[in-house]
Amino acid sequence: MGMSHEELVINAEKERLEILRKYKQLLKAVEPHIKSRDDLKKIHKAYELACEKHKDMRRKSGEPYIYHPIAVAQICAQELGLGVTSVICGLLHDTVEDTDLTLDDVRELFGDDVCKIIDGLTKISGVFDQSQSIQAENFRKIILTLSDDLRVILVKLADRLHNMRTLEHMRRDKQLKIANETLYLFAPLAHRLGLYAIKTELEDLSLKYVEPEKYTEIANKLEKTKEVRERFISSFIHPIKKQLAEQGFEFEVKGRTKSIYSIYNKIVKKGVPFEEIYDIFAIRIILDSRPENEKSDCWRVYSIITDLYKPKPDRMRDWISFPRSNGYESLHITVMSPSGKWVEVQIRTARMDEISERGYAAHWKYKESGMENAVDDWIRRIREILENNENAVDLVESFKLDLDTEEIFIFTPKGELRTLKSGTTALDFAYDIHSEIGNTCIGAKVNNKLVPISYKLRSGDQVEVLTSSKQKPKEDWLKIVISTKAREKIKTALREEKRRVAMDGKEVFERKLRHLGVTFNEQDINRILHYFKVPDVQDLYYKVATGGISNFEIKQFYKDENSRSWYQYLANKIRRKTPEKKEEKTLEELIKDAKRDDSLVIGDNTVKLDYKLSSCCNPIPGDEVFGFVTVNDGIKIHKTTCPNAMQLMSNYAYRIVKARWTNRESIAFLAGLRVDGFDEVGIVNRITKIISNQLKVNMRSISFETKDGLFEGNIMVFVQDTNHLNDMIAKLREVPGVINVTRLN
């Protein structure tokens, strides 16, 4: 039954009061940034306009839609420390896209700054080339706006953070898409902007939806070990506090637990169980220090700590002498505690701590810190990426490469310091100095020793680039470089070279036709392109210039052309040489054609579709899966936790279809197991007996390697579903001598 009129009135009044309460909370958060009555008036005008435009709209949770813009504005003010303009943009960020408010209205009411940011925030509307991802185009718009006003991206991150916090009300497939998109681009973006608190929350919330079981398992283990951890931290920091107080420091000490996502990453990438991760938490010492004493104070504290506890030499990170390019400053050391545990200690000042949490959002507050140069430098690099990338998906990939890396510090021969990515080669460094130096690079001297262009640089290296006017970029250089700038400059140089060679090829081609006494028009060119299977005229001329198409073949084409009609010739050629090309089919056509009766339901239909199980993650019944419509291979089934899922869901969301297993058929699926343990006599025999005799499972292959008393084995088995596989894993773990059994992707 619906609510009575009286209940509706009471409900509406409750909501009105709640909206008002949230707005007052927002005003309190933005108060430090309000400089005049005019600022306050503008915020109120934006609030009233947002209330008016969203008044009949509801969120998926059933709440009034206006809760969302107020929450986004609140994050801008409270968590990012942004000012009046950003708060206004937070309140209005969805109005131009979702209501009848136009950008001209916004400009008239709030001025150019707000209008420009709202324009950047308004998602792309209209039709795109469906071969590219709509989502990638949205990312492209976001990245493009970075070079206009950094606040666009900060408000966008606030919007994404609130969406992630309220994701439980969305459908499962939407949750997966949004969470993967967040992990793929928004969390690295927050990291690159130095917004560690937001980056961490975005990653944790994404994991909660992408890998709910793993997330809950780690969260529970953290909760169970909390008390022991707190006791340990308390006894560890007690002598440090005593010494710091005696030396007259003003300070705060915090124990900071590693995020669930970073623990998960360590478990997956390093293959270690939760119990064996030594840096589950770090101790953070925050000093109240005068600007001129910051560096010396941090090093004094370093000295006090290393007097108390022995440091691990290879785990010292000096981000104070060499701040990261996102402005992060801190001194990290790992020391041995009295109970035999390694503990990470981070030493920083209050200013450094605020910048580490709020990143570039704090740079307006600390203009004298030199962070503006880092901002400008980063935006300059982004502009270079934008200039060299026309395809949206390529752009996102390039941008992501630029986001996802640690940094090293390299010195030029004159002692100038340059910050580059970890894994950088001598060729990358050459392009970092200048594109022409990159294009003519033949090698380098690293610390006065001659090295090839592929040499990987290490932090602290001094590098001199060697060049030659005869050198030109080559195709295989793309495999050497890792930086976006170098990659794009090489591609541009190769395109230019191809264009130059093609011009020579055009002359050769036209000379040959004159020799044959042939004139040709555009229709002839199209026929020639078909005949030689080249996509465009430039490729045709390039192949002629490089010998890919010989004079004899051109002559043969005209001979064949004259001996029979073009259409008859083409038909014969297709029959003779070309394998039948499969037509691309739409999802609807695939559904109509489907005749199989397998144990997978794809989409909302009950009709079964042809599909292939993806080899990158080998899904089996019981796994949570999705379908991806490929161009040539029909539908491919991936696990939602597949290594490629994040990119597919982010860049090609419109080609994702829902898929789930049914239990109608008993089919065997191939799955892999990794077994680790002690190399005892007869252990392989015990393992194979359990698989073959006890569980009656067929094995396709088994391989074991032993080293220094330990073994690791890979076993490929045929199972019916995840329950079957999990049962086998549990049984194998009980075998004496087996330490761990995990599923292979």
**Per-block average pLDDT, block size 10, for the chain (745 residues)?**
64 86 91 88 92 87 90 91 89 86 88 84 44 56 62 87 92 88 84 84 94 93 90 92 93 89 88 81 92 92 94 87 80 90 92 78 51 56 60 62 69 83 90 91 88 88 89 89 86 86 81 72 68 75 77 70 48 47 46 45 57 83 83 80 81 76 62 84 82 76 79 84 84 86 82
Using a 10 angstrom Cβ sphere, with 0-12 exposed, 13-18 middle and 19 or more buried, the burial of residue 707 is exposed
Residues 55 and 199 occupy one common structural domain: yes
Query: Could you tell me the pTM of the whole model?
Result: 0.65
Residues 169 and 82 occupy one common structural domain: yes
- Residue 592's pLDDT is what? 42
Question: Which CATH number covers residue 714?
Answer: 3.30.70.260
Q: Please state the domain count of the chain.
A: 5
717: enclosing H helix or E strand = strand 710-719
Residues 618 and 681 occupy one common structural domain: no
Residues 317 and 255 occupy one common structural domain: yes
Residues 128 and 169 occupy one common structural domain: yes
**Strand ordering across the sheet containing 463-467:** 449-451, 441-446, 463-467
* Within a domain: 13: no
Residues 69 and 203 occupy one common structural domain: yes
Residues 49 and 180 occupy one common structural domain: yes
Residues 133 and 280 occupy one common structural domain: no
* Within a domain: 178: yes
21: helix, strand or coil: helix
Question: Which CATH number covers residue 242?
Answer: 3.30.460.10
Domain end position, chosen among 337, 369, 401: 369
Domain end position, chosen among 159, 177, 210: 210
Strand ranges, E, within 588-696: 600-602, 611-613, 625-629, 635-639, 656-661, 669-678
* Within a domain: 254: yes
Report angle CA 45, 47, 52 to the nearest 5 degrees.
95
- Residue 377's pLDDT is what? 61
* Within a domain: 376: no
- Enclosing domain of residue 201: 19-210
Residue-wise burial string across 555-569, b where 16 or more C-beta atoms lie within 10 A, e elsewhere:
eebbeebeeeeeeeb
* Within a domain: 416: no
Residues 611 and 681 occupy one common structural domain: no
Residues 127 and 241 occupy one common structural domain: no
Q: Which residue do the tokens 């909501």 mark?
A: 15
Instruction: Give the catalytic positions in this structure.
Output: 97-98
* Within a domain: 363: yes
- Residue 582's pLDDT is what? 46
* Within a domain: 398: no
- Dihedral of the alpha carbons of 529, 530, 533, 539, in degrees to the nearest 10: 10
* Within a domain: 516: yes
Question: Which CATH number covers residue 203?
Answer: 1.10.3210.10
**Tokens representing residue 672 in the block:** 């892999």
Check: CB of residue 46 under 8 Å from CB of residue 84. no
What CA–CA distance (Å, rounded) separates 464 from 450? 9
Domain end position, chosen among 210, 230, 260: 210
- Residue 146's pLDDT is what? 58
